[in-house]
Amino acid sequence: MRMSRVKRLLVLGVVLTLSACASRSVDTELTRCVYPDSPRTPAPSFVCGEPVTGYPVSVLRSSEDSEQSVHERMQATLDDQVVRWSEQLADDWYPDDASVNAQARAFLLDWLQDNARIVRSRVSPTATLWLLVGIPDNLNHLRQLTQDALSNLPN
């Protein structure tokens, strides 16, 4: 009888140990991917392209380690992405009319400077700053905003 009690306690101990391991909180954000510049280091899921709620348009950018402060590197990367988006979207939407394209670029540049954000950031083990830059609006709505703004401009 004493032996069965020991066995029960042993089984109970194993079950409790296994359940503790199974329920231990694990940062799942860091278990799905690795940094491109440090392939053996787990990275946040945004580095691997998982969408972020509230930002239907986003792009992963990196900034190499430099003499600039992290804030300066972040701002420079954000500013560069805003310019890239304004040029790309204007070229995609208005490729045939240079005047309208220029007006669209100007509108998009202003709108993106006000609305684009650094949504996530992390520094990899190699000191590369990884940034997810996002727009809190979908491209169809942004295109409509651009068209509306252009239609209100004097001819």
Q: What is the pLDDT of residues 16-55, one digit of tens each?
A: 565 555 544 444 444 569 999 999 999 999 999 999 999 9
- The whole-number average pLDDT for the span 68-96 is 97
Residue 97 has pLDDT above 80, yes or no: yes
Cross-strand pairs, 123: 129
Q: Distance between CA atoms of 8 and 28, rounded to whole angstroms?
A: 34
Q: How far apart are the first and last CA of the chain?
A: 97
- The whole-number average pLDDT for the span 109-119 is 98
Q: Return the exposure string of 70-85: e unless at least 16 CB atoms fall within 10 Å of the residue's CB, then b.
A: eeebbeebbeebbeeb
- The whole-number average pLDDT for the span 104-131 is 96
With pLDDT > 70 as the criterion, what percentage of the chain qualifies? Answer: 79
This prediction's pTM: 0.76
pLDDT band for position 150 (50/70/90)?
Answer: very high
Residue 126 DSSP one-character state:
T
